[in-house]
Amino acid sequence: MVSLKPWSLDFIKQDHGRDVLAQIPKYDGFCVIPDHLNYRLVIGNFYNKYLPFQHKPIAGDCGTVLKFLEHIFQDQLQLGLDYIKLLIEQPTQKLPILCLVSKERNTGKTTFLMFLKSIFGGNMTINTNEDFRTNFNSEWSSKLIIGIDETFLDKKEDSERIKNLATATVYKAEAKGFDRQEIEFFGKFILCSNNEDNFIVIDQGETRYWVIRVTPIAQEQHKFLLRLEGEIPYFIDFISKRSMYTSKESRLWFNSNLLQTEALLKVIRRSRNRLENEISSLLTTIMENKEVPEICFCINDLQDWLLKKGNRGIESFLIKKILQEEWKLKPCSNSLSYTRFGFLPDGSIGEDTSKGRYYKVNQEFILKLEAY
């Protein structure tokens, strides 16, 4: 693998003599411009740190690769082939955050990362969770593909960082002992995790993630990765001759509706915070118990319900944030009468008439929440 290492002027003179200095080309600086089809080492008077593509297309059978990719992408195989074709032919195109998840072992997730690593070489890196969280990012900020194996980035700031980088055009690279430097950013993230439910936080309505649940490989094959690597030239030839199945419909190329999988919805459901889930459950319980299609309530009603269910000290501003910012609800403009429900000491649900600037939700709204 090609790499750049600093070499002091004194050592160059010592090893090769003073006269060699006149033969060494000089540049104004570095750049990172990914290109696999028309690669240029020097662009303007800048040295391109992106490494050249190592594979040449050769006509041949890539059946093992295609069968493996069908296992990974399943009924979304054509989207997966488009994804890889875009990585090769349009590397500056922004792409969704691809997530391969499964609780089971021997599914091929890590093999998929290693296969892509064999294709893209030094222009791809496979990191740990800690590598991504550290302030020093120079090792991966200039890469085309940033893979994270055994992903568990359960903090909100982790998700915010990744999804912002998925659409970023510039990023500040930082190496130990050096000042931060703004660079163009073309990175694509691929996350693999054995945690299907909450390996990362994904908000409702988020369109930057593509989550696929991968099933176990039926029978483990000896030296399978070597077989895949042996077919790379044939696969490159296949990809170069294959027409795109999709056309560009968003900044991340794919129409987000195509990436709506049950695995994605499962993560979104688990990402909703505990208080939000508790409020949703309480509303469902009351509507089902009282057999009403909709319910009106004020924030102090919710506080009382939560208290009766053992949730002490829930501040009103937290409830208000969920209702207005997450659920996009607005209270009625004036103080009006409504039917107020309450949990009685024996666990039953009573009702009376109250007055206030209440919120209103119906069963359809709650079912839609729970579908995410």
Residues 19-37 pLDDT 10s: 777 788 889 888 889 999 9
pLDDT of 228 over the 90 cut: yes
Interstrand relation of 42-43 and 46-48 (parallel, antiparallel or unpaired): antiparallel
- What is the number of H-type helices and E-type strands within the chain? 13, 14
Architecture of domain 63-270: 3-Layer(aba) Sandwich (3.40)
Q: Whole-model pTM? A: 0.76
Separation between Cα atoms, residue 282 and residue 361, nearest integer Å: 12
Q: In the structure, what pLDDT confidence band is assigned to residue 178 with cuts at 50, 70 and 90?
A: low
pLDDT tens for 291-333 read 999 999 999 999 999 888 877 778 888 899 889 988 899 999 8
Q: Are 1 and 121 in contact (CB under 8 A)?
A: yes
How far does CA 185 lie from the centroid of its chain? 16
Q: In the structure, what pLDDT confidence band is assigned to residue 175 with cuts at 50, 70 and 90?
A: low
14: left (phi over 0), alpha (psi -120 to 50) or beta: alpha
In sequence order, what are the residues at sequence separation of 6 or more whose Cβ sits closer than 8 angstroms to the Cβ of residue 80? 69, 72, 73
Q: Which two tokens stand for residue 107?
A: 């599914």
Question: Environment class of residue 145 by beta-carbon count within 10 Å: exposed (0-12), middle (13-18) or buried (19+)?
Answer: buried
Higher pLDDT, 133 or 341: 341
Listed in order, the ranges of the chain carrying CATH 3.40.50.300 are: 63-270
Q: Where are the alpha helices (DSSP H) in 74-223?
A: 77-89, 109-120, 129-133, 156-167
